[in-house]
């Protein structure tokens, strides 16, 4: 729904990577990431604002499509795990590159 139904072009580069729903179904944390090097990645604050503004619409759409007694309130959280993984990979590569210079 984020990519296909919301009209903000930055959201085309947003991926939903996980959702944690509370046991009472009253709230859900929706974790998202942005494609690196895109407009969405460069304007994360605006992406966050767009998702928060769209949360009411998304809530209504979920209520129509799901057969739940209560549809959770959506909270959007940027997921930094992809960035952290990329940073760790770059650090490991730099260590490996340093080892090659020593003839190892």
- Distance of alpha carbon 69 from the chain centroid: 26
Looking at residue 86, its pLDDT comes to: 75
In the DSSP assignment, the letter for residue 27 is E
Global confidence as pTM: 0.77
pLDDT in tens, 1-46: 998 899 888 898 899 999 999 999 899 999 999 888 788 888 989 9
Query: In the predicted model, is pLDDT for residue 100 greater than 80?
Result: no
Dig out the tokens for 11 from the structure.
């959201």
b/e map 71-80, b = 16+ CB within 10 Å: bbebebebbe
pLDDT in tens, 36-54: 878 888 898 999 999 999 9
CB 17 within 8 A of CB 79: yes
Looking at residue 37, its pLDDT comes to: 79
CB 40 within 8 A of CB 47: yes
In the DSSP assignment, the letter for residue 10 is G
Full set of structural domains in the chain with CATH: 2-79 (3.30.300.20)
């Amino acid at each position: 729904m984020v990519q296909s139904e919301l009209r903000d072009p930055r959201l085309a580069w947003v991926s939903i990577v996980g959702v944690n729903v509370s046991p009472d179904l009253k709230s859900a944390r929706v974790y998202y990431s942005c494609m690196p090097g895109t407009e969405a990645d460069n304007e994360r604050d605006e992406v966050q604002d767009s998702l928060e503004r769209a949360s009411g619409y998304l809530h209504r759409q979920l209520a129509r499509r799901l057969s739940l007694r209560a549809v959770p309130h959506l909270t959007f959280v940027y997921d930094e795990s992809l960035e952290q993984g990329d940073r760790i990979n770059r650090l490991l590569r730099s260590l490996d590159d340093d080892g090659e210079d020593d003839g190892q």
